[in-house]
Amino acid sequence: MNIFNRAKDNAVSFLPGLALAVAIAVLAWFAGSRLPIIGAAVFALVFGVAIGQFYNPPRASSGLAFAGKKVLQYAIVLLGFEMQITRVLVIGSRSLSVLLFTVLAAFGAMAALWKLLRVPEDQAILIGVGTCICGGSAIAATAPVIGAQERDIAQAISTIFLFNIIAVFIFPAAGRLLGLSDEGFGLWAGTAINDTSSVVAAASAWSDAAGNQTALSLATIVKLTRTLLIIPVTLILAATRTARARKVGGGGSVKGGSVNFVRIFPWFVLAFLAAALINSFLPLPPALPRLLVTCGKFMIVVAMAAIGARTKIKDLVSGGWRPILLGLCCWFAVAAVSLGVQSLSSLL
């Protein structure tokens, strides 16, 4: 009974924020249908940010947080119902070489610049991890491993989120300017945009304008493959911190070093794979996957509305220009290397 009451209380606390996100999403869905070259997800982010600067009551915060994270994850799972598992595995394996080089590019740029820019080491590591893996989720998973302070976590998340918002607007336009194909843009977005939400928003905008789902499906698969890199990267960071602690004699001056595998693993990726398996091998009525995927796309719009509504522009730049410049350099390195590796691999 206590569990039921707790669940009911949580559901009630989510309602105001979730209702606000859905209302914004409905408006954005309509606007996106009228202007598909922009797309509903981009409209949702714009409307959410605009509303959030003036109207963001405290009672809506839990629902907006739920919509921005959990609803997005559920949406990605539903997108799995239009995927064939063989395509998921092939695209995921093909993208590994690009992902490896982009990880090296992000950490290379971070290692080369953090001292020059006088950014604290932990903050620089978090910016590098957030750029090359999965934004805020990677930062949250890595922070306890390196023993990062709250101010470093907050600054890294703000820096990464600033570029998440920018990416949603500039990547589709840049992709058209570069003459990318649907496949090329999907791979670029999946490897070079920081956070999952921004990847699916930018890819949705591209797919809406293109009139097909090629970029969105490919970007989603690549991004989920990239998300799994959080496991080896955090293990390497933990090993590095442990080795450093031993080198200095274990005197307690080096924090972190442990990894909670259960906590950092992106379990929704397994649900996405399960959805792709079901779609691949079970005789589903053709209308059912289409309905589930449409629901997933609308939930992406809801998530972007919530993310926008929680965004305070002044907070994103409050930490000064140094971490922002470091984040920009890491992001540029990842985007450029992604395009370069794809070009060399004849993937475009």
* Structural domain range at position 202: 2-344
pLDDT at 190: 93
Rounded CA-CA distance 272/276 in Å is 6
Structure tokens at 109: 């740029």
Q: What is the DSSP string of 187-231?
A: HHHHHHSSSHHHHHHHHHHHHHHHTSSHHHHHHHHHHHHHHTTHH
pLDDT at 39: 87
Nearest Cα residue to 145 out of 75, 59, 283, 244? 244
pLDDT at 254: 52
pLDDT at 347: 46
Q: Are 14 and 37 in contact (CB under 8 A)?
A: no
The one-letter amino acid code at 289 reads P
pLDDT at 189: 95
Query: E-strand spans in 3-160?
Result: none
Residue-wise pLDDT for 110-141, tens only, equals 999 999 999 999 999 999 999 988 888 888 88
- Quick count: other Cβ atoms within 10 Å of Cβ 99? 23
Q: To which H or E segment does residue 152 belong?
A: helix 150-177
Q: What are phi and psi of 117, to 5 degrees?
A: -85, -5
pLDDT at 241: 76
Low-confidence ranges of the chain (pLDDT < 50): 1, 251-253, 347-348
Domain count, the chain: 1
pLDDT at 6: 60
